Amino acid sequence: MRKFLIVGLGNIGEKYEETRHNIGFKILDHLAKKENISFETERLADRAEYKFKGRTFILIKPNTMMNLSGKAVRYWLDEEKISSENLLVLVDDVNIPFGEIRIKARGSDGGHNGLKDIQAVLNTSKYPRFRFGIGADYSRGRQVDFVLGEWNTEEREALKERMEKSVEAIKSFGTIGLERTMNFFNGQ
């Protein structure tokens, strides 16, 4: 059975729950609710396991805080004996319009501290990442407030459909592969 490590990035704690920066957690929570599975707190992360079409998806939400996510990713890759090409990291991105999905096989951290730490710990930028656009509707010098701010009413309503699309993309990654998933979902 093929295994995949799906990592949703976010910050732990109630005050961060509905922030834009926590979209990685939010997508995995949506998948878990939809498939009636639950997360258990384990070493360095909240973990759930989901089986779909002969594949095992290990879902983790690191509890190390966003900027130290690499330690949890490394641990669970090793623990589950999963190669980095079967890793998918879900993050927010201010450089992408709200709700748009961009999946890539590799790339820079794009200024995202969670990705920066993962790349430093794994010593590579060659691992798939799923960027969820949160837009850039903030004034100069207010990026941190925007990213750590909560979704507005319009965004919250649109998120329902975008979460469904995100879950489809995760399942696609594990079943039809990275290239076809990128072709199908990028820009949607």
Of how many residues is the chain composed? 188
Q: What is the DSSP string of the chain?
A: -EEEEEEE----SGGGTTBGGGHHHHHHHHHHHHTT---EEETTEEEEEEEETTEEEEEEEESS-GGGHHHHHHHHHHHHT--GGGEEEEEEETTS-TT-EEEESS---TT-HHHHHHHHHHT-S-S-EEEEE------TT-HHHHHTSBPPHHHHHHHHHHHHHHHHHHHHHHHT-HHHHHHHHTT-
Choosing from 20, 21, 61, 112, which is the catalytic residue?
21
Structure tokens at 36: 């009636």
Q: Has 112 been annotated as catalytic?
A: no
CA separation for the pair 181, 175 (Å, rounded): 9
For 107, phi then psi, to 5°, come to 155, -175
Positions annotated as catalytic residues are 21
